[in-house]
Every structure is written in C-alpha cells, then in structure tokens.
Copies of this chain bind each other. A is one copy, B any other.
Amino acid sequence: MPEQVSTSGAANGFAPYSLVSISPARSRRSDPFVAFEQVGRVRRFARDEEIYGEGDPADAWFKVISGTVRICKFLADGRRYIAAFCDSGECFGLDDVGERVFSAEAVGAVTVTRYPRSATERLIDENPLLSRGLCEITLHDLAHAQIRMLRLGRMTASERVANFLLELSEQQDARRIIEVSMSRGDIADHLGLTIETVCRVLSAFKRDRLISIPGLHQIEVLDRAALEAVGET
C-alpha cells in the first residue's frame, strides 16, 4: 500500500490521527514517536516462542524490529485463528486493556522493542500528540480488520488467497517476488481455511500462471491483473 497517509485531516473525522504520519503497517517514522524510543527495550524471541499469552497482563506494547509476529487465539478444541501478522516496523499489543485477549508468537526469529505501558502513559501525558499517533495506528489496524472480515465472511478460498497475496505484495512495496515468512498452516489459520486448501489454491494459481513459487517462502507474481481479478475487493 502506497503512503496514503493523509497528512492533513483524517477524513475520518479526527485530525488527531493524521497529525502523525504513520503508515499502517511497516512504517518507518521519524516523528514525535522517537520519544518512545527512550523507554523501549529490545527483546529477542526464537521461532514459535510466545511473546505474550492470552490472559497475561497487558502492560506493554511492542514494535517489530525484524522478523514476523503472529497475533492469534485458540479455541478450546485447538482450532486457531491468526488475527494478524506483524512485520518489521509494525506495532502490536496496543489493543487489549487489562489482560491479553489474543497471544503473540514469533513466526521465525524475531527482534522487537518493548514499551511498558506506564512509561507510555507518562509520555502521553507530557505530549498529547503521541496519543494521536497511537490512535492512528489503531485506526489502520481497524481498517485492515474490516477488510479481513469481508474476506472471511464473503470470499471463496481462491479469493481469500489471492487477496492475501495482494495484501502481502503491497506491504512489500509491490515487488514481484513476495517473501512469505509464515508457514502454509499459518496462512490457513489466518484465512479460515485448511493447509490443504491453501496448497491446492496456490497450485492452481501456479498451474494457471498467475504466480510461480521459486522457494517455499517466496511467491512470484506473474500476472498481477489476473490475481486482482480474483482477489480484489
């Protein structure tokens, strides 16, 4: 997604969110947010390690420095849903107050910065502009969540996968070759499908020359128009 970061008013109704230019996902920023860096501490996690779990106290938020984090929730019988993948530059854990509703896990090796809630609130009290920035992040998350609900609620398997690939592609600056850091199982649990269906759809896209799969974790977009025809909202 291009930097559609509304500089002036968030037409959304609130200027506040637009004062800080944070592109939703992978944002490099240099604004008032640097204030937070003073209170952040770097943490590293190994593949599949839990960063926080459901029920933990929500006493901090995080920004991904490198790697990918998955935000997920388990049902009692083991079914898993992955609400989001956070790549470097993205923030997570800002939601939920009190205790965690979802958990956060490292997809591969991950480095994050951890910002304690108490220090964050102190900074915000000193500089209300920061609150607007955090708000903007949340708004973008909400916008993404809405598109994902549409995807889950009303799209077929092929449409979901195509739409997901396009989302990944945009996040990665529309490069031809998409880096897919997560496993097929992760993708399935994010799209509300099974591993097998994700595989079959990818194979079908490959057969139809929409994509090629040079490596297990790379996907090359061969025919973007066709992919959009399938997966565009």
Known: A95-B139, A138-B139, A153-B152. A146 touches B14 (CB 8 A): no
Known: A131-B131, A132-B128, A138-B139. A94 touches B146 (CB 8 A): no
Partner of A134, one of B135, B148, B233: B135
Q: Report whether A146 and B12 are in contact in the complex, using a CB–CB cutoff of 8 Å.
A: yes
Q: Report whether B10 and A97 are in contact in the complex, using a CB–CB cutoff of 8 Å.
A: yes
* Cβ contacts A58-83/B at 8 Å (1 or 0 each): 11110000000000010100011101
Q: Closest B residue to A131 by CB, please name it.
A: B16
Partner of A96, one of B12, B61, B101, B131: B12
Q: Closest B residue to A118 by CB, please name it.
A: B9
Among listed A41-49, A119-127, A178-186, A214-222, interface-contacting one: A119-127
Q: Report whether B80 and A11 are in contact in the complex, using a CB–CB cutoff of 8 Å.
A: no
* Residue among A125, A143, A148, A149 having the largest count of chain B Cβ atoms under 10 Å: A149
Partner of A191, one of B11, B18, B153: B153
Chain B contacts for A57, CB-based, 8 A: 11
**Quick check: is A6 within 8 A (CB to CB) of the other chain?**
yes
* Residue among A83, A139, A148 having the largest count of chain B Cβ atoms under 10 Å: A139
A81-123 at interface with B (beta carbon < 8 Å):
81, 83, 93-99, 101-102, 115, 117-118, 120-121
Taken together as a complex, chains A and B put the C-alpha atoms of A97 and B11 apart, in Å, by 4
Q: Closest B residue to A125 by CB, please name it.
A: B15
Using a CB–CB cutoff of 8 Å, the interface residues on chain A facing chain B are 4, 6, 9-18, 57-61, 73, 75, 79-81, 83, 93-99, 101-102, 115, 117-118, 120-121, 124-125, 128-129, 131-132, 134-136, 138-139, 141-143, 145-150, 152-155, 189-192, 233
Given A81-B154, A83-B149, 20 more A-B residue pairs with CB atoms under 8 Å apart are A11-B57, A11-B59, A11-B117, A11-B146, A14-B117, A14-B131, A14-B134, A15-B124, A16-B121, A16-B124, A79-B154, A80-B154, A94-B139, A96-B139, A97-B136, A124-B132, A128-B129, A148-B149, A153-B189, A154-B192
